Amino acid sequence: MQLSLYFGFARDAAQSQMPRVIVRTLHLALFLMLAGLAAASVEAGAQSSVSGMVRDSAGVPQIGAQVQLIKSDLTVAANVYTNSKGHFVFASVLPGSYAVKAIASTFLPSLRENVRVRSATVVNLTLNTLYEVMQWLPAQPRSASTQKDDWAWTLRSAANRPLLRCLEDGPLVVVSEGPNSQPRLKARLVASGQQGTFGEDGQRITMEIEDTPSTSRELLARVDFDPTTNAGMESMLGFRQDLGFAGSVESVAAVAMHPEIEDAGGNGAGSGLEEVAVRTTERMQFGDAAEAEVGTQQVMARFAQNSPNTILSEMPFATVGWRTGNNEIHYRMATAVPAPGMDASGTAGVLPALEMANGKLVVERGTHQEIGWERRTDASGVQILVYADSIGNPMLEASARPAGGMDFAGQALMDPASGLIRTAGEGFSTAGVVASVEHRLPGGNSVRLSYANGDALVISGARGAMSLSALAGAARPRRTQMYSLSLSGTIEGTGTRWRASYRWQPEETLTRVSPYALDAAEPFMNLHLRQPLCRVRGERAHSIDAIVDARNLLAQGYRSFVLNDGSLLIFAQEQRSMSAGLGFTF
């Protein structure tokens, strides 16, 4: 750079001293400015570093923890692992703003946002387990100047951030989002009577804690027990943490104890089924265009007494999606087969189906892969996907009508209350297509049409009486199709929420086509109603709802077979079941 300054004065020597002073001052200012620009350019081109330690809450260095350096545009700039001392280094980093994320097995991810990198920057991260993050503490102000909390107890995070609060004389509620906003009510109690469902006949009482509206952390909880049986219970506890632009992490643990379920024909030996499942999920976002979800589901199951074996199974899953406008393309891999009557907020979505086969307790599982395209607008949606499945221990469910002593001990699980049994069929592989169209109707109603093809198990060659193992072994896959129509909405004036569906596939098929399909209708005619009986608005909303849920209303798809001891088995894709009760939200 060349800079020329010209000054001209037509005055005497005495008066020319002032311009010389001004010129020297300008030269000095120009020199300092050029020196600053040179230093800034050198700093901009310099490479900085980011280093630090990764420890657990006890201060123990974590070896082999994955550490990511994330740019402001959500892309990963670098990826390293901690050494034997828990130390990590990003050697060459351009100055700027970053996020540093640490990931290790059995720990919740740790994220440090808005890390300003100008030279050698040190970032130390602490990894916590799920149980360390949450703890019940008395609600005390954090400083003398802080206004005293009016809540009796509060569930706080390790950073002393409130998650849930409990009034001394009130129910469990969530933290309000702002100083002037009201907390949303959390608790829901449902008392119902059910009939025709495996492991759920009789009276049921369910206490459920819904998701909190917190933008950072949520708690999920559910307890479901049957007072008509000997301490039959299902429960679920989950925790979800939002990691900002990096995604979220979720851990859900579910426990089921069904003392009434036993090894059919075992004369009480091995009675009392226990099942535990832990599902961990991490959802990662890459801008507005891409999202990935990976996780695993670990399952342990056994009989409470005289257990012939114990199931220990790990079932991973993953989904990757790309969005452009209203279109989305995704890939999904899953291993756990969704249990019948799966509810995304309940234990049925976490606990897979169990059966007996060849004297051993087994779990229904397989390998599912799909590639799909979806287009959604405010008024409609279209989805098409192709899939390939390899299913092991496919579940066969039947209503048993014994004639004297049953001779299929070690071949089926039995629920004496409902008279239903579950056994495992021969594994098979299949591939097919699933397509659906959804459209919103006036008044907030919607209609959905679906089609699928693939293989389902059929028992076609059974003649005369035979044993249960031979009958289950005779089930063979057959190529078939499925059609379904679903309608849902709310009736104006009464506030009745309803959902009706009809799913058809050949009645001789004993299993579903495309069992891994999400949002699939239950087989044959189904109806769900929820009618508000009492609504109280205000600071604390209360409601009482009547609930009716009926599945396979027309009792379709039943296939009967006679065993060699004279017992009658009636198989079906979905057993006819009825459930009704009252739901209290407070």
Least confident of 131-135, 196-200, 415-419: 131-135
How is residue 122 annotated by DSSP?
Answer: E
Judged against a pLDDT cut of 90, whether residue 382 lies above it is answered with: yes
Burial of 226 (0-12, 13-18, 19+ CB in 10 A): buried
d(CA 497, CA 528): 8
Query: Are 497 and 443 within 8 A, CB to CB?
Result: no
Q: Which two tokens stand for residue 499?
A: 């959902």
pTM of the full predicted structure? 0.66
Query: Are 415 and 397 within 8 A, CB to CB?
Result: no
What DSSP string describes 258-318? ETT-EETTSTTTT--EEEEEEEEEEEEEETTTEEEEEEEEEEEEEESSS-S--EEEEEEEE
pLDDT at 527: 93
pLDDT at 130: 55
Q: What is the mean pLDDT of the chain?
A: 77
pLDDT at 510: 92
* Closest of 318, 323, 334 to residue 374, by C-alpha: 323
Query: Are 384 and 372 within 8 A, CB to CB?
Result: yes
pLDDT at 397: 92
48-128 and 171-585 have identical folds = no
Mean pLDDT (whole number) for 480-495: 90
Confidence of residue 44 (pLDDT cuts 50, 70, 90): very low
Which residue stretches of 73-128 are H helix?
none
- The domain limits of the chain are 1-45, 48-128, 131-163, 171-585
Mean pLDDT (whole number) for 480-500: 90
Q: What is the pLDDT of residues 173-189, one digit of tens each?
A: 444 444 444 445 456 78
Judged against a pLDDT cut of 80, whether residue 569 lies above it is answered with: yes
By percentage, how much of the chain surpasses pLDDT 90?
Answer: 26
pLDDT at 367: 95
Domain 171-585 = CATH 2.40.160: yes
Query: Are 176 and 185 within 8 A, CB to CB?
Result: no
Tokens 């426990």 correspond to 255
d(CA 95, CA 547): 59
Q: 48-128 sits in which CATH class?
A: mainly beta
